């Protein structure tokens, strides 16, 4: 039997991720990049096939990640990708062992999410000039990101028919082709309706390739991209503050933090964010600890002596 190529193994693995794991295009791309990095490492070690790797190979690769000063999260992701890749190879009978099975995962650095205070948000919202077409669109994007806590990628996938203005709900197409319905507040609905009735109609006229059903359009009438949203948010923040630094994802953090600060339960916030694991949502509880301490000290009879 002819020896199988690396491309053969990688193609089978990607098919496995698509069919059995229902992986998104983004996940497939990330796994492929990590495995290609490992393949280059194998060549540097004089190995020509992934099935030649053993536990010692995995240890050497692990040490190389640290030598190159990869962040812990990046190193953990690469190891996780390779562990899954070799689990597939073992299942298919190409390997007797999974060399990455015993590789210890580096502990992730815990970074508290950045968020905006309500006063900062109001300052941002008030900076839009709705007599301008792109400001109408940008305000609608800001309002929707804050109203739903959706990811930027999810926001760019929203179609006009995904919004039910009467019910105040939105169909969100999330990671791994998972879908969820989320409520949308009146401020966001109003901003979106105004944008659809005015600026979006004008932007559509600039598109020469058809009439896209994406809700948010760029200044040429095509679908707004993630890169476009990041550029827009960065530009908007610079116009209102020289010290404020946020990304579109920080609006997602702000959404979750404000909900928890105002009494929402963790499970509900998990569902709204589309998190698979509650532990991911629990990160936001660290942000609210200071407020909880203040509430406790104010409300509990024996928490702190009151002056008088």
Residues belonging to the active site? 151, 175, 249, 252, 275, 284
End-to-end, the C-alpha distance of the chain in Å comes to: 89
Residue 61: C-alpha distances to residues 48, 76, 104 (Å): 15, 12, 12
For the range 37-40, what are the long-range contacts, defined as Cβ-Cβ under 8 Å and sequence gap of 24 or more? 37/78, 38/78, 38/82, 39/6
The DSSP code for 172 is E
DSSP 180-218: EEEE--HHHHHHHHHHHHTHHHHHHHT-SS----BSSB-
Contact partners, residue 202, CB within 8 Å, separation at least 6: 133
Contact partners, residue 166, CB within 8 Å, separation at least 6: none
The residue assigned the tokens 């020896």 is: 3
The DSSP code for 242 is S
Residue 15: C-alpha distances to residues 24, 26, 100 (Å): 12, 14, 21
Separation CA 296–CA 8 (nearest Å): 60
Residue 204: how many CA atoms within 13 Å on its side-chain side?
A: 14
CA 281 to chain centre: 13
Q: Are 223 and 212 in contact (CB under 8 A)?
A: yes
- Tokens at residue 139, please? 């305000």
């Amino acid at each position: 039997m002819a020896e199988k190529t690396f491309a053969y193994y990688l193609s089978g693995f990607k098919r496995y991720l698509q069919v059995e794991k229902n992986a998104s295009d983004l996940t497939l791309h990330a796994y492929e990049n990590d495995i290609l990095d490992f393949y280059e490492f194998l060549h540097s070690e004089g190995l020509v096939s992934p099935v030649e790797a053993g536990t010692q190979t995995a240890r050497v690769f692990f040490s190389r990640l640290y030598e190159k000063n990869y962040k812990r999260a990046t190193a953990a992701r690469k190891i996780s990708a390779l562990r899954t890749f070799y689990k597939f190879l073992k299942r298919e009978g190409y390997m007797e062992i999974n060399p990455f099975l015993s590789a210890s995962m580096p502990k992730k650095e815990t970074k508290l999410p950045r968020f905006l205070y309500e006063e900062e948000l109001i300052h941002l919202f008030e900076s839009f000039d709705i007599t301008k077409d792109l400001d109408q669109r940008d305000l609608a994007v800001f309002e929707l990101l804050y109203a739903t806590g959706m990811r930027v990628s999810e926001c760019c996938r929203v179609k006009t028919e995904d919004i039910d203005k009467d019910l105040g709900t939105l169909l969100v197409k999330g990671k791994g082709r998972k879908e969820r319905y989320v409520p949308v507040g009146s401020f966001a609905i109003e901003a979106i309706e105004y944008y659809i009735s005015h600026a979006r109609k004008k932007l559509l006229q600039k598109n020469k390739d058809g009439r896209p059903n994406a809700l948010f359009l760029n200044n040429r009438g095509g679908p707004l991209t993630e890169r476009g949203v990041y550029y827009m948010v960065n530009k908007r923040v610079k116009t209102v503050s020289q010290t404020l630094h946020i990304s579109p994802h920080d609006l997602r953090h702000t959404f979750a933090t404000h909900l928890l600060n105002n009494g929402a339960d963790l499970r509900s916030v998990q569902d709204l964010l589309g998190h698979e694991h509650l532990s991911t949502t629990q990160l936001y509880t660290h942000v609210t600890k200071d407020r909880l301490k203040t509430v406790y000290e104010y409300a509990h009879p024996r928490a702190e002596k009151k002056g008088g």
